[in-house]
């Protein structure tokens, strides 16, 4: 198999459908326990090529290394699960394709790109809504996880520390399309289901998304509510 899942993939509240979908993928591979004692072998050229030619949407990564950690694995077309998305993994905890980890070993970075489907972020628990590279984002799990809303996708950044998560957001760029780190990301074409306060600068961006999509979404919800009554 050319792609692997992380040994300790972050389980997010409110993302149970993605987790259940990944269970089937887990059964397709033998799980190895614990963390490796050295650096993982470099990702194979074929596995990297599969990620870099993924055809459905932009798959984000931070390059071949992250703070000295090698790109250890990448999903591609053959292992693609639409409800889970496509991921890249950095560090020495990548052991097998699956969602269950062992021990305390955590990846320094996992970046998952998935087509956005409308949902509320309330199940994520304590969170902060911010702007990241010009687009809406939600920071949760005490800063170790950041979900960024751009184009037609959500980019989920999972890291072992809040500082590493922030560094990763600055380095994000598409693996399978032109793009560069640091520059503003494309605005989302949907209205993210943010929960909680929105700073003024974020509220302005939300109010001016393409096609005024947040206003349209709110109007549709209000209309649907009147039909129920």
pLDDT tens-digit profile of 28-83?
322 322 344 455 567 889 999 999 999 999 999 999 999 999 999 999 998 899 99
Domain limits for position 204? 16-228
pLDDT of residue 51: 93
pLDDT of residue 26: 28
Residue 4 resides in a domain = no
Asked, for residue 140, whether it belongs to a domain, the answer is: yes
3-state secondary structure of 146: strand
Residue 3 lies in a domain: no
Residue at 217 is within a domain: yes
Q: How many domains does the chain fold into?
A: 1
60 φ, ψ (degrees, to nearest 5) = -95, 145
Torsion of CA 38, 41, 47, 51, to 10 degrees: 50
C-alpha 64/C-alpha 205 separation (Å) is: 32
Q: Quick check: is 128 in a domain?
A: yes
Residue 182 falls inside a structural domain: yes
The predicted-structure confidence for 75-124, as pLDDT tens digits, reads as follows 999 889 999 999 999 997 644 333 333 445 678 999 999 999 999 999 99
The answer to whether residue 5 is domain-embedded is no
218 pLDDT tier (thresholds 50, 70, 90)? confident
Q: Are 26 and 5 in contact (CB under 8 A)?
A: yes
Give 154's strand partners.
114, 149
The verdict on residue 11 lying in a domain is no
Q: Give the tens place of pLDDT for each residue, 140-182.
A: 999 999 999 999 999 999 999 999 999 999 999 999 999 999 9
Cβ atoms < 10 Å from Cβ of 6: 28
Give 48's contacts (C-beta < 8 A, 6+ positions apart): 71, 74
């Amino acid at each position: 198999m050319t792609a692997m899942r992380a040994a300790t993939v972050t389980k997010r509240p409110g993302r149970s459908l993605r987790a259940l979908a990944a269970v089937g993928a887990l059964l397709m591979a033998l799980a190895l326990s614990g963390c490796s004692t050295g650096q993982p072998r470099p990702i194979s050229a074929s596995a990297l090529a599969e990620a870099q030619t993924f055809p459905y949407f932009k798959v984000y990564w931070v390059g071949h290394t992250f703070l000295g950690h090698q790109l250890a694995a990448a999903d591609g077309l053959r292992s693609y699960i639409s409800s889970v998305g496509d991921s890249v993994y950095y560090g020495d905890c990548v052991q097998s394709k699956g969602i269950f980890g062992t021990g305390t070993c955590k990846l320094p970075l996992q970046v998952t790109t998935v087509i956005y489907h409308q949902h509320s972020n309330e199940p994520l628990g304590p969170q902060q809504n911010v702007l990241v590279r010009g687009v809406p984002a939600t920071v949760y799990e005490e800063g170790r996880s950041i979900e960024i809303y751009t184009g037609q996708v959500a980019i989920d950044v999972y890291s072992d520390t809040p500082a590493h998560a922030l560094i990763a957001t600055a380095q994000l760029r598409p693996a399978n399309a032109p793009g560069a780190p640091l520059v503003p990301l494309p605005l989302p074409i949907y209205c993210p289901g943010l929960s909680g306060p929105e700073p003024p600068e974020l509220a302005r961006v939300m109010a001016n998304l393409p096609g005024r999509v947040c206003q349209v979404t709110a109007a549709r919800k209000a209309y649907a509510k009147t039909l129920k009554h």
